[in-house]
Structure 1
Amino acid sequence: MTSNLEVRIADLTRNDKGDLKGQDVTVKGYLAAKPDEPLDDGYNYPFIDEDMNGILVKSKKKLDDLEPGKWFDVHGRLDEDHLQEMHVTSETDITKSDAQQESPSHSRQFSSSVKKVVDGDTIHLEKAVLGTTKVRFVSIDTPETNYQGDSQGYYAEEATRQLQNLLPEGEDVSIRVGDEAFDQYGRLLAIVLKKEHNINREMIEIGMAVPYFIYPNLDNFEEYGDAVVRAKEAGRGLWNPDRPIDELPYEFRFNKRGGPNKFVGHFETKQYVEPEKWESIPIEYRVFFLKEKDAIDAGYKKNSEAPGC
């Protein structure tokens, strides 16, 4: 093994540090979020420094003992291709720092440019934001191009094509993150702005996406709800009466998994229902909760009289 070097996360954002790729290093970082579920390549743990520079620490195994909101010394091997990705093998590679500083000041908006459109709600960036170049558009959902080997076909490809038109390669964008910057998979969640134009909302407006609000990220809730109502009334995209989509994107996924698994609240009435009763909540008012306790903590009351699917 190569020698273990101590480096700053900020150093890994510099183009002249390419010789560090594949090296064993130690960095100090603040754990911004803890993933509950893995992606195809394992679990992603986002660490940031005092100035909101980031690195994505990747592990094949779930690291249960890590506590978000604490500073850690992370020992691992930098990726061969991406300086802002590090690979660790176990929890022994990550130790809580002796000195626990204040939380980093939480910047909300970052600048980058589009490297690639992956699908209707995912892009890759040229310049990493909070340690990752992969962005999942927050609070919207588009048809799946490849979920467990299956595609939603025409609308999946059309949503991708429409986003490519809106965000061609090299397009300058602003990346705005909310209170929860990462999802349960460790992916960066963001509103993507093109000259201050909200592309997340635009995808709903043209009928290529549906609102998908997962508590606590509820920014733009009413705005996106109004947009989906307009798209439905105009029969655009997914709502075309001559070619309606068979399943909403999240419906497609949970049918593949064997059924819904998120509790669903009504944004206005502040009542929630069991996962299998999700359709009883109109699309423009749906708030999804990963756990029932989240709904209760948010002030929602259980509606036991809601009809089933």
Structure 2
Amino acid sequence: MRASIRIVLTAACLICGIAAFAKAFAGEEKMLRGTVSKVSDGDTIHFDDAASGETLKIRMVGIDAPEAHLPIPGGGPMVGQGKWGDAATAALERLTPVGTKVVLQDLGLDKYGRTLGRYFYRGRDVNLQMVRLGQAVPYVICDGPSCDRDFFEREKVEDYLKACDEARAAGRGLFNPAHPLREMPYEFRLRMQKRTPDKFVGDFADRSLHEPTEIRAVDVCRRIFFLKREYATRLGFHF
């Protein structure tokens, strides 16, 4: 009898473990409540978690804002994209000034130790708002386990790409025809940090796939980045 109970308990633990792994693999997030304590630039804030008291540096997922203060190899003064970086920072400060209470969707850490997240103010996706204002462009990265069949829906990819198109059509922010941003943040970082492009680039509209060096072959409002070719082909993108 005791042996049977042990078998049942062991099986139950295995099932729970498998379920937990599946949730982690699928990228299940946690929601945190807290306060904006600093706006660093157009896609980075500091967030004070109400429950733990911890301050998290948040890299806002799904978007890329013009650089305000980018470190470069060898040290020296940081570089930025001038008025576009300043405008993006100011826009985010207006949306959620320091002291604003928000809800953070915590999506884990990036390789720099920052928390990746999407945050909400009064139920509105602030990341998405930055794209709508033309103060950031979509920056969708399919990076491995998250690249499952629900990836595009889960990441609200169509919403972000549509917001980009609308901002450009209206001439907002970095799409202002009087002084448009000529070099997107991703390309600026590559050039200033003397890095070689390493992400494959997909076109969300026609599912075409391009080499990392062919980034300009894909419209900025349709780009999907893939760390590996197989991640792209898994989702129906092909050369």
**Per the shorter chain, which TM-score range?**
0.7 to 0.9
| Deviation of 1:150 (Å) | 1.1
Specify the alignment match of 1:119 in structure 2.
41
Deviation readout 1:21-44 (Å, 9 max, x if unpaired): xxxxxxxxxxxxxxxxxxxxxxxx
Specify the alignment match of 1:294 in structure 2.
231
Helix, strand or coil at the partner of 1:283: coil
| Deviation of 1:132 (Å) | 5.8
Q: Which amino acid aligns with 2:34?
A: S
Q: Which amino acid aligns with 1:110?
A: L
What count of residue pairs does the alignment treat as equivalent?
A: 201
Specify the alignment match of 1:159 in structure 2.
88
Specify the alignment match of 1:239 in structure 2.
175
| Deviation of 1:170 (Å) | 1.2
Specify the alignment match of 1:265 in structure 2.
202
Alpha-carbon distance change, 122 to 129 in structure 1, aligned in 2, over 3 angstroms:
farther
1:229 and 2:165 correspond: yes
1:202 and 2:202 correspond: no
Distance of 2:67 and 2:50 partners within structure 1? 24
Specify the alignment match of 1:169 in structure 2.
98
1:250 and 2:186 correspond: yes
Distance of 1:122 and 1:187 partners within structure 2? 9
Higher helix proportion: 2
Alpha-carbon distance change, 166 to 274 in structure 1, aligned in 2, over 3 angstroms:
same
> Where does the alignment leave 5 or more consecutive residues of structure 1 unmatched?
1-100, 304-309
Specify the alignment match of 1:189 in structure 2.
116
Specify the alignment match of 1:145 in structure 2.
68
Alpha-carbon distance change, 191 to 279 in structure 1, aligned in 2, over 3 angstroms:
same
Q: Percent identity?
A: 37
Alpha-carbon distance change, 239 to 129 in structure 1, aligned in 2, over 3 angstroms:
farther
Relative contact order (C-alpha < 8 Å, sep 6+): which is higher? Answer: 2
Distance of 2:50 and 2:230 partners within structure 1? 34
| Deviation of 1:294 (Å) | 2.4
RMSD: 2.4
Q: Which amino acid aligns with 2:99?
A: G
Q: Is the 8 A contact 2:33 2:50 kept in 1?
A: no
Distance of 1:272 and 1:258 partners within structure 2? 21
| Deviation of 1:270 (Å) | 2.5
Q: Is the 8 A contact 2:32 2:49 kept in 1?
A: no
Distance of 2:233 and 2:111 partners within structure 1? 19
Higher strand proportion: 1
Deviation readout 1:154-195 (Å, 9 max, x if unpaired): 1111111111111111111111145xx333333211111001
Q: Is the 8 A contact 1:254 1:261 kept in 2?
A: no
Distance of 1:245 and 1:125 partners within structure 2? 29
Q: Report which stretch shifted further, 163-172 or 125-134.
A: 125-134
> Where does the alignment leave 5 or more consecutive residues of structure 2 unmatched?
1-15, 73-77
TM-score, reference length from structure 1: 0.60
Distance of 2:80 and 2:88 partners within structure 1? 12
Alpha-carbon distance change, 201 to 126 in structure 1, aligned in 2, over 3 angstroms:
same
Alpha-carbon distance change, 143 to 170 in structure 1, aligned in 2, over 3 angstroms:
same
Q: Which amino acid aligns with 2:205?
A: E
Distance of 1:273 and 1:235 partners within structure 2? 28
Deviation readout 1:208-247 (Å, 9 max, x if unpaired): 1000000146411111111111111111110111111131
